[in-house]
A and B are shown apart, each in its own frame.
Chain A
C-alpha cells in the first residue's frame, strides 16, 4: 500500500468506528425516520384522545348544523338550550366548551365558554368555522336564493401570470418556487451540518497528531504534502460514506415504507425542481465540503495542541453560521440583494446558491459563475495551503491565529 493510502486508511478506520461519527450518523437516520413516520408518531401521542364534546347553543333562526360537523377531534352537540345545565357540565368536565351563537344587529356573535382552555388547534378550527358561519349568516340575511348564496360563498379569483420578458419566459410557477424553497432549506441545513462536522473533524485530527508529537514521526517518512492530501481524502471519504449511508436508508424508506408513498413524493419534488437542481445541489455540497476541509487542515496545522483547535476553528464556524442565517433570511424572500451577494461568496455559496436555483428564476450563467468562483477558490486555497502546511505543521507556537501565522512565517523564511 502506498503511504498516501496507508495514512488515509488509518484515518478512515479509526474515525468510522469512533463514537461521535456513529452517533452523528444514527442521528441523521433518526431525524429522517421521524420525518417519514411523522403521521404515525403523531397518532401515537394524540390517537387515543377522545373527541372533545362541544355544545352549540344557537339563538338565531339560521341553521348551522352543516357548518359545525363533528370530526375526530371535536364532537359538536347541536341545538342545546339549557345554559345552566350545560355550564355545570363544563365545570364537571363532561363538556369541553359551550358555543353560544346569537344575532346582534344582523351580525353574528359567538361566545365560547370553557372551564379549561381549549387546545390551540381546536381553538383555531372553531374560530375559522365561526368566521365562515358569520359570512354565511350575513348572506342568508340578504334573502338570496341558495345558488346565489353558494356563488358568493365559493367565489375565488383565478390568477394567471403573463411574462412579457421573452428572455425569462417559462419561469417557475408559484408552486415550483414554494417547493424549491422548502427543499433548498432542507439541503442548506444538511450542508451546514456536514460542513460543521467534517471541518472540526479534520482540524482536531491534525491538531491531535501535532499535539501528541506523532507528526514528527510521520513526517520523517511521509512528505507533508502527502500527509495533507491523505487527511483531506480520508475525511472526504468519511463524509461520502455518511452521505451514502443516509441515501441508502432513505431509498429503503422511500421504496418499502407505506407502499412507496415517500418515493412518489420525492420523485414529484425532483420533477418539479428539475434534475439540474439536484445535480447543482450535490456539486455545491461536495465542493463546499472540500473547500472547508482544505481550510480545516490548514487551521489544524497551525495549533500546537488539540485543545487549541476550537480557537482556530472559530472564524470558519462563524462564516458557516453567517451563510446559514443568510439562507434562513431567504426563506421569507429569496430575491434580496443579501442573498444574491452571498450566493457568489465561495464559503457560503454552497448553502445559498441551491436556494436561488430552486426558488427563484435565475439564468443559466448565474450558478455557473458561482460554481466557477468556488472551483477557482478551491484551487487557490489548495495550492496556498499545501505550501503553508509544509511550514506550519512542525512549528509550535503560542498566541492567537494571527500570532501563530506570524511565528510560522518568522521561523521558516
Chain B
C-alpha cells in the first residue's frame, strides 16, 4: 500500500499543528517521522488514521481517500501506552485480534509466536495492570500488529524500553518488514532511525524540514563528528 500526503495542514483556532506536509511512503519500506515533542507527529498520525480531520490537503492510500479504506489493514501503536488494565494479557491480544477480523485459531498461532519472542510467556495469564511498564508496552505493541496489518504506524515505540527490549523491538520491526508490512514510525532520537529507516521526514513545529532518503539527508546536512580520547598532548595529536 502506498500512502501519500499532499499539502496536509491541520489548524486549530489559534495554532497550526501541521503545515503543508508532503511525503510518500512506498509499499514495504520503513519510514521515520522525526521531530521534537510537539512537532506534529501524533497529529499527523491521527489524520492518517482518520481519527482527526485535516484542515486542508489530501491523504490517500493507493489513491483512495483515508475514510474509504478497510481499517483492518492498519495497525497503530499510540504514543500513550494504553491497554485494558484488568484484562489478562492473552485475552487482550485475542480481543484486539478478533476486533480486526481475525479468527481465534489463526490468532492462537500468532499470539504464541509473539509472546515467546517478546519473552512474555510467564505473564500470559496475568492482568495487564500487574505488569511492569516495559512489559505493558510490549503487550500493546503485539496488540497493534497481531492482525498482520499491511500498514503499521508506531508512535514513539522505543521510548521507555531498556536496551535489551529496544533490540527485541528493532528485530521485530525488521521481521515485519520482511513479511511485507509497510511501517511508519516516529521518534525524537536519530539513533533508532538510522538503523531502520529507508526514508524519513524531519518535522519541526508542524513544518517539514526535510523529506527523502537517509543517504540524501546525510549528503545535505551530514557532518562528521569524531571524538578521540587519549593521553597524548595536542601537539602529538596534530602531528599525526
- B117: Cβ under 8 A from any A Cβ: no
Q: Say yes or no: A216 contacts B51, CB within 8 Å.
A: yes
Q: Say yes or no: A221 contacts B82, CB within 8 Å.
A: no
Name the residue on A nearest B76 (C-beta): A220
The size bracket of the interface on B is: 20 to 34
Q: Say yes or no: A221 contacts B99, CB within 8 Å.
A: yes
Rounded to whole Å, the gap between the CB of A286 and the closest CB of chain B is: 29
Q: Say yes or no: B13 contacts A216, CB within 8 Å.
A: no
Rounded to whole Å, the gap between the CB of B70 and the closest CB of chain A is: 10
CA distance A411 to B12 in the complex (A): 6
CA distance A57 to B76 in the complex (A): 93
Which single member of B71, B80, B84, B86 contacts A220 (CB below 8 Å)?
B71
CA distance A6 to B144 in the complex (A): 17
User: Given known contacts A1-B98, A10-B95, is B12 in contact with A217 (CB within 8 Å)?
Assistant: no
Q: Say yes or no: B99 contacts A218, CB within 8 Å.
A: yes
- A212: Cβ under 8 A from any B Cβ: yes
- B46: Cβ under 8 A from any A Cβ: yes
Q: Say yes or no: B78 contacts A217, CB within 8 Å.
A: yes
CA distance A271 to B148 in the complex (A): 62
- A213: Cβ under 8 A from any B Cβ: yes
- B85: Cβ under 8 A from any A Cβ: yes
Q: Say yes or no: B76 contacts A217, CB within 8 Å.
A: yes
Which residues of B have CB within 8 Å of A219? 51
Q: Say yes or no: B83 contacts A212, CB within 8 Å.
A: yes
Q: Say yes or no: A213 contacts B82, CB within 8 Å.
A: yes
Which residues of A have CB within 8 Å of B12? 410-411
Counting chain B CB atoms within 10 Å of each CB, which of A7, A209, A217, A218 scores highest?
A217
Rounded to whole Å, the gap between the CB of B124 and the closest CB of chain A is: 19
CA distance A6 to B97 in the complex (A): 11
A residues whose Cβ falls under 8 Å from a Cβ of B: 1, 3, 6-7, 10, 14, 208-209, 212-222, 394, 410-413
Given A7-B99, A220-B71: 18 more A-B contacts, CB < 8 Å: A6-B95, A14-B86, A14-B87, A209-B84, A213-B78, A213-B80, A215-B82, A216-B80, A217-B96, A218-B99, A219-B51, A220-B74, A221-B71, A221-B74, A222-B71, A222-B99, A410-B12, A412-B52
9 shortest interchain CB distances as A-B pairs: A213-B82, A216-B78, A213-B80, A220-B76, A214-B82, A212-B82, A221-B99, A214-B84, A221-B71
